[in-house]
Every structure is written in structure tokens, then in C-alpha cells.
Amino acid sequence: MTKKNVEEKQHTFLIWLLKEGITPEIIEEEIEEQCVDNIKKTYPPDAPENTVAFSWQSEGKKEKTWWQEYWKIEGNVSHSYPNAIVFIPCNDRWFAISQGYSDKYLKNEFIETQFPFYAVLNVLDPGKITTTKVFQPDESLRQLTQKSSGTSLIHLPHFNQYSTSIVRDLAGKVFDEYASLFSSISGGSAKALKINAIINPNQFDTYLTKLLERSKSLDYKKHFPQFNNIVQLMNSDLIDTLNEMLEASLAEDWSSIQLDLPDIIDQFEWIWRLTSLSSDFFSINEFTAENVLSQLQNHKGLTIDTLKQCKIQVKESEDSPKVNSFKLYSCITYDTMLSGDSQHRYFLVEGNWYEVSQDFLQKLDSGLGSLISAQELPFSLPPYNYDGQIQNENDYNTRLAECLGGICLDLGNISPPGQTQIEPCDVLFISGETLYFIHNKIFRASSNLSHLFNQGLASARMYSKDSETTNRLREEIIRNGTPDRIEQYTELLATKPKVAVLFGIIERSTTKTPHTLLSLPLFSKISLSNVLESLRDLHFESSVEFVPYT
């Protein structure tokens, strides 16, 4: 069998698109500034015209890497840490092919960070996706999830019409029409487009032309309509523009600026202090988000750099030794629109900018009402501090159970032994022939609302799962109920009654304008929509009630 030449074999290539105006010489200066003083500049003879390569040479190792032979880069490149960047011109732009560990010099300010993602979306067959990496903005789901599938991504459970999932990476097989160019392709958060292909060096510009063309296409909207909903921005120029708009609002108009900790802190009142890099920026006597914002508004000359340098330090209780620390920039939530773009709204959440479709926002708002049970509740939740004696949520749940004639189960557990605790609800209540699972939470931040909604869904799913869960719920009723209620509740439970889930969103004492479903933070609304839709699939009725503080 004849041995194949290196250019006849399939190889993996990492491809980057440089921003307009960025040239190989600019990257060379960056490399030299990083104290790399043995750069060798060559012009690969078999590559497209004007291709240039920078490689890091070292003595001692004589064996060559495949790419050294492929690009015909002369000299002995270290086999342990071989590095090279090959620059290929294409349609008045420059592409970079990184080899070895050279990608650290291709910084965000030099590259088109969204090029890989959209190039992949426009050539990837949605029915042949092998891997997705998904980021869940909801606090309770904040993790990267990798899915392997031989079927369409559209059928994966992450992606319903109200999905909060932000796709970071995609990989799989391409449409048949591109199969002669690439066998597989992947791209996304890694910033580089990764292809596996057999490419002759002198044909590389043909591949790059096709990739550039596909990255600008809108075909992906037909194949992956869910990705039109929410896109995390990676374009540094656009992010700079949006940060400038935020900075202008810091000086003029705070109406669209809110404070929202990027973590679940139950005692959000205990904001200890806000610090700069060198000293206390200011200390806070009354520990509320509103007071922090008020103090910030009084501080003139706030900039984005200030927000990124300062930190909010939070104690979970007055005497707690544990201090949680967050960058102020990551605690700011803000939304705005760009002039000339009526199709999108832009949201700053936890230090990241998101582009959100206006059409999606409208459907989200109109759909929320339809997901909630139309029938009016036969009872109402009393104000949080209705008797002036409430100290915390546990107090409220205990008093609520007494007021309604229900059972407080906020410390209960219906999960199987050895598994993570799942509270059945805060208060279990019977009205007519319906068993209500009531979940309450003070509205302190978007993250704790998402936690509330997903906690309610987890309980509902567990309850509907099997008879063992019903038995564990019965044990909690016996453990926590009064004798008369134990008899009433266990008898109804045995009949497999109609079940409804009620979310009580408790207003803070400092809330000036009562909230509505439409005024909830973006990701809370999406989380609620997902949960309500899932509850409907379980045949559970659901309701949301806003509970005034007094």
C-alpha cells in the first residue's frame, strides 16, 4: 500500500477569523511583547499566496510534527511544546490557523469571537449533532451540561420555546452538501472553529471562503429557531458600546439599573460593605439593595472600571463569620436597546451581556398568563408581616399554616433515602378536593426566584413519580400535623386528589411599586414559564400570588 503524503491525510485544524484591520504583524508584536524572542517567519510555499507563518524554534528535538511538514515550516520545532500560527488572507480578511499552544496570543480584541459559532450553525446538520455544551443561566441550574445525541438538538429537552439555555459549543456532522469539505465540525465558546478534513494547503482559501460565507448566513434561523431567543454576546466591540450606554445611565438615569446578587443569599439584607481595591468605598447601615443603589447614585463619576474594581461583601447573617464577595459589575442588572435595532433588547446579567429577541419577549409575556390556571384561587395568602410578629420566612410559613388550617412542611423531605433533600412544600393545604403545595420566597433577587420555581417543580415531579413518594409525604404529614389535620390530610391523600402548586412571591419591606408577572426579571420570567409549562405537562394546576409585606 502506498504511503499517503501528509496533505492527503485527515487532520484537525483550529481556525480563527481576525477582526478587520488586524494583521499578522500586529499578532507578531503581541507575541514579541510576551518575551518570545525566537520567532521564525516563513512563507509556506504550497499555501495560498501571501500566506505567512510564525513559529517558535528550539534546539535538541529533530523529529517534526505533522503540521511542520504540512506547512513546510523549516527548522526544528520542539516536539514537547511546538507552536506556530499560520496566517492566510481571504476576501480582504486574515484567518489564523493555530498549531500547538499558540492560541493564547490570539486575544479577544484580535478575533471575531462569534465567527466559529455561526459558521458551525450554518453547516451543521441538526439531525447529526453529536455533542452540545449548554449553559443554564438559572441559579439552580448553573452548570455546563454536555449532551451526546444522534438526533436533532431541537428534540433535546433543554430547548422549548421559553428556553434559558445558552448554547456554548456544538459538534457533529455537516450537511451533505458540505461533506466534501469537512467530515465534522465544532465551535462555540472555545473561540476557534475546529474542523476535521483532508485539505491540500493550496486549497485552504477555498475552505476559508466557504466558512466566511456561511458565518454570515441567516440559514441557521431555519435549522435552529430556538437560538434566536437569547444569545450571549462575545463581540467585544458591541459589548464596549453597551457598556458605554450603561456608563451614561450611571451618570444620568438609573431607572433601568437594578442590583441582583449572582448567588442565592437568603439574608440579602446583610450587605456588609462595598469596597474598592484599596479601601472601603462606603459602608452601609441599613442593609438593603435599595440603599446600596441609593448610595451608588450619590457617588459621582462612576465608570465601568469602577464597577469591575469594587466588590460587594455580604454576610448571610449579622453574626456570620462567612463573607461572600461579588464584583459590583456582576451584581448590576441593566437592559437597553440600540439605536436602529428594533428587533432586540440587550440585558446585562451577572457580568454577561445577552441579546434577546423582542419577538421572544412579547411571546414570553403573553404566554405567562395562559400557563397559569384561569380559575381564581378559593383563598388568598395574608400579607407577610400581617401581625407584626414575623421575623423570617420560617415564621411566615408557620403562621400561614395556622391561618389557613394547613400543615407547615418547610423542613420536610420526600426524596428517597441517601438522595438530596427535596422539600414537599412550605405549606400543604386542602381546599375542597384539591391539595395545594404552597411555596413561598421573599423576592430578593432573580436567583432566589428561579430557585423557588425550580424547587416547586422538583417537588411536583417527585410527588408524581411513584407511590413511595406519597408514603414519604404521608409520614411528613403525620410528623408535622395536628391530630385532626393528620386524619383529614391522610384520608384525602389516599384518594390521589387533584393537585395544585401555588408560588407565593413575598414583596420586600422597601418595595415601592408592587410587582406583577410582567415586571419580574428576565431570567425569572423564563424560569417561571418553563416551570409552569412542565407543571401543566404533569397535569398540575399552578398559580402565582404576590404577597404584600404588610
pLDDT of residue 267: 45
Same domain? For 40 and 68 the reply is yes
User: In this structure, what C-alpha cell is assigned to residue 393?
Assistant: 420566612
Any idea what the Cα angle at residue 161 is, between residues 353 and 504, rounded to 5°? 80
Same domain? For 29 and 151 the reply is yes
Same domain? For 12 and 115 the reply is yes
pLDDT of residue 540: 94
pLDDT of residue 230: 82
The answer to whether position 499 is within a domain reads yes
Is 298 exposed, middle or buried, given 0-12, 13-18 or 19+ CB atoms closer than 10 A?
exposed
The answer to whether position 219 is within a domain reads yes
Tell me which of 356, 383, 406 is where a domain ends.
356
If residue 336 lies in a helix (H) or strand (E), which one and from where to where? strand 332-336
pLDDT of residue 148: 40
pLDDT of residue 185: 82
Q: Indicate yes or no: pTM above 0.85.
A: no
Phi, psi angle pair for 497, to nearest 5°:
-75, 170
Same domain? For 445 and 483 the reply is yes
Same domain? For 157 and 294 the reply is no
Same domain? For 427 and 312 the reply is no
Strands 257-259 vs 230-232: parallel, antiparallel or unpaired: unpaired
Same domain? For 289 and 387 the reply is no
The answer to whether position 365 is within a domain reads no
Same domain? For 335 and 404 the reply is no
Same domain? For 508 and 398 the reply is yes
Q: Are 463 and 499 in contact (CB under 8 A)?
A: yes
Tell me which of 227, 257, 291 is where a domain ends.
227
Give, rounded to a whole angstrom, the gap between the first and last alpha carbons of the chain. Answer: 86
The answer to whether position 456 is within a domain reads yes
User: In this structure, what C-alpha cell is assigned to residue 423?
Assistant: 422539600
Q: In which domain, by residue range, is 410 found?
A: 372-547
Please list the ranges in the chain whose pLDDT falls under 50: 58-60, 78-79, 138-162, 164, 267-269, 277-279, 284-287
The answer to whether position 253 is within a domain reads yes
The answer to whether position 286 is within a domain reads yes
Q: Are 397 and 426 in contact (CB under 8 A)?
A: yes
The answer to whether position 366 is within a domain reads no
Tell me which of 209, 227, 245 is where a domain ends.
227
Same domain? For 391 and 262 the reply is no
Count of beta carbons in the 10 Å neighbourhood of residue 352 = 16
pLDDT of residue 210: 92
pLDDT of residue 201: 93
* Gyration radius of the chain over CA positions: 28
The answer to whether position 247 is within a domain reads yes
Phi, psi angle pair for 399, to nearest 5°:
-65, -35
Same domain? For 223 and 241 the reply is no
Residues in the chain: 550
Number of domains in the chain: 3
Question: In the block, which residue shows the cell 395568602?
Answer: 381
Q: Say which DSSP state 18 is in.
A: B
Is 24 exposed, middle or buried, given 0-12, 13-18 or 19+ CB atoms closer than 10 A?
buried
Same domain? For 63 and 7 the reply is yes
If residue 250 lies in a helix (H) or strand (E), which one and from where to where? helix 236-252
